[in-house]
Amino acid sequence: MRRDTIFAEATVPGRGGVSVIRVSGPDAWTAAERMAGALPAPRMAGLRQICDPADGRVLDEGLVLAFEAGASFTGEPVVEFQLHGSRAVVRAILGALGGFEELRLAEAGEFTRRAMENGRLDLGQVEALGDLIDAETEAQRLQALRGMDGILGRKTAEWRADLVRASGLLTACLDFSEEELPDDLSDEILTLIERTAASVQEEVQSASAGERVRNGFEVAIVGRPNAGKSTLLNALARRDVALTSDIAGTTRDIVEARLDLKGHLVTLLDTAGLRATDDVVEGLGISRARQRAEEADLRVFLLMRGESPDDLGLTVRQGDLVVDAKGDQLTGGVFPVSGLSGLGLDRLLSEISDEIVGRASFVASASNLRQKAALEDAATALVAADQIMRADSGALDLVSENLRISLFSLDRLIGRVDVEDMLDVVFSSFCVGK
């Protein structure tokens, strides 16, 4: 079936130095030739006057690039117009393209979707491309580039090869259903399942770190009312984010500040002071503070003299930091910190950074909840297959079914199965020109 030819602005709308308009599909070159004359050689830029085919008016002068099918981003014939970044120019070119009956404006993410459908990208690479566009920190950029390199697809191909081999051996073994399963076949099937299960489970563990790099780490500052949490947040953020006051219980809701620490996105949370109260609104704030503190990746316990974390009703976890509040008013102290004077702030930021860098040190191939869920489903089915194989070598049909489930989960991971609803969600997050 002949596909539509689509077009859209590929750069951010608005005024700028350069704007790029992309055209993709079977009629892309024909339309471009009618507007710019003879096209330059494929993948070579050429300066052209770009005209309205309806009346021959010159709309702009810019660079034209043509890509043949199989050598473009989408895998289709593509033409890109690199124009002056004027709203009027872009509007005029888009209007001229819209005048072709065989062309239509692209939908959100349609260029990238065509790239996937034409085998140029798998679903993991598509999601990594979205992550790269949204990257705010160096760690996010590097992780997204690893994803775009296709590391998840390559690992999945290795897992699938082992499981397809194991499934094939199981099919052959069904001939022995009334007899003892040959030891050499049984051992090879178990080896393939165990190896794949271990590798997938390792990837599930690293996926948690990858997800945190992608979405950012949360660090909650917890303590009593008037311990200086809001002042500390403002000092760490180097701007007035939270309202400060000598009146205890000023903070009722969660106040957030985003930082880039050693290339990692970190959200600092200033929470309501933890204490018993009869104030309904403050009580709601305290309840929310406890919940966010439990969910945070790590906590900074800001304690007054003589206090312990137990006094706040929270248990110190590995990686949490316990510091002395209002350190500028103390003599001694294990880890004195003051948002007012700046005492201990460099050390505090350094220790938070070191903890986060350590947690993010796993090289993750998967980086979001969808990918992690697919990996978990595959790992669960593989563990079940392994257990059944060891407990009852005659239950080959159950082992085979669990291998089928794991293969389906891996295919879902990289978009090889019919998952239209899921794809609609993924591609809807892209801009029209992508």
Binding residues for Mg(2+): 230, 251
Residue 324 corresponds to which tokens in the numbers above?
Answer: 């002395």
What are the residues whose beta carbons fall under 8 Å from the beta carbon of 93, sequence distance 6 or more?
Answer: 21, 50, 59, 60, 81, 83
Amino acid at 177: S
Please return the burial class of 219, using the count of CB atoms within 10 Å of its CB with bins 0-12, 13-18 and 19+. buried
CA distances to 20, 62, 308 from 111, in Å? 14, 22, 56
Return binding residues for GTP. Answer: 226-231, 245-251, 270-273
Return binding residues. Answer: 22, 80, 120, 226-231, 245-251, 270-273, 434
What are the residues whose beta carbons fall under 8 Å from the beta carbon of 159, sequence distance 6 or more?
Answer: 196, 199, 200, 378, 410
Count of H-run helices and E-run strands, the chain: 13, 11
Q: Would you say 22 and 80 are in contact if contact means Cβ atoms under 8 Å apart?
A: yes
Amino acid at 164: V
Please return the burial class of 209, using the count of CB atoms within 10 Å of its CB with bins 0-12, 13-18 and 19+. buried
Residue 74 corresponds to which tokens in the numbers above?
Answer: 């989408």
3 state SS of 62: strand
Return binding residues for K(+). Answer: 226, 245, 247, 250
Q: Would you say 65 and 80 are in contact if contact means Cβ atoms under 8 Å apart?
A: yes
End-to-end CA distance of the chain: 23
Instruction: State the residue for tokens 């947690």.
Output: 359
Residue 180 corresponds to which tokens in the numbers above?
Answer: 């003892």
Element (H, E) at 424: helix 420-428
Return binding residues for (6S)-5-formyl-5,6,7,8-tetrahydrofolate. Answer: 22, 80, 120, 434
Cα 242 to Cα 399: distance, rounded to the nearest angstrom: 57
Please return the burial class of 141, using the count of CB atoms within 10 Å of its CB with bins 0-12, 13-18 and 19+. middle
Per-residue burial over 399-416, b if 16 or more Cβ lie within 10 Å, else e, is bbebbebbbbbbbbbbbb
